[in-house]
Amino acid sequence: MTLETLKLDLRDHIRDVPDFPKPGILFKDITPLLMDPSAFRLCIERLCGPWHNNEPDVIVGIEARGFIFGAAMAVQMSVPFVPIRKPGKLPWKTRALSYSLEYGEDTIEIHEDAVRPGQRVLLVDDLLATGGTMGAAIRLVQDLGGEVVEALFVVELEDLGGREKLPEVPTRSLLTY
């Protein structure tokens, strides 16, 4: 890590977008972070940091922005990456789970053979809001026999209470708002 990287504040690379995706929502946009290689590298290093001496068996990223962070972490830690996707996007046999969002309902899927029983799984997404998506992902991984060792986020919106909906697994966020 360079001296320049140490001086970076990841908060400076998160953009507020009012009224997106609908009026009244203040969206936390990670695009500026992704556009700055030093900030993105620092973000990945901080996400991976606690796991360098105790790597998980697999990293699972949630569509779509969880893919960005999860895949980069998997490469850095030399462990497999598994995507959790929206229905109809995975080409093999899947398990699906529907859940409630802050503004509706959704469904996610994972390949049936993506996680083996007993594997230690690190789940990654860009944002923790109400916890619905991550809660569903945790259940999918556990249904396959995986042990979720951490739910990991770049950004957490504390006022929405998502962390309280994930009490069965350790949860960590780099930035809280």
Please check the confidence at residue 3 and state whether its pLDDT lies above 50. Answer: no
Please check the confidence at residue 46 and state whether its pLDDT lies above 60. Answer: yes
Task: Out of 102, 112, 158, 164, pick the active-site residue.
Answer: 102
In the residue annotation, 102 being an active-site residue is answered as yes
Distance CA 86, CA 9 (A): 32
- The per-residue pLDDT for range 15-28, each reduced to its tens digit, is 999 999 999 999 99
Length of the chain: 177
Predicted pLDDT at 7: 78
Q: Which domains does the chain have, with CATH numbers?
A: 54-176 (3.40.50.2020)
Predicted pLDDT at 148: 98
pTM of the model: 0.93
Average pLDDT score, the chain: 94
Predicted pLDDT at 101: 73
What is the pLDDT averaged over residues 2-29? 87
Residue 18 CA: distances (Å) to CA of 42, 104, 106, 154, 161 = 26, 19, 23, 19, 20
- The per-residue pLDDT for range 103-115, each reduced to its tens digit, is 678 999 999 999 9
Query: Do the Cβ atoms of 26 and 18 come closer than 8 Å?
Result: yes
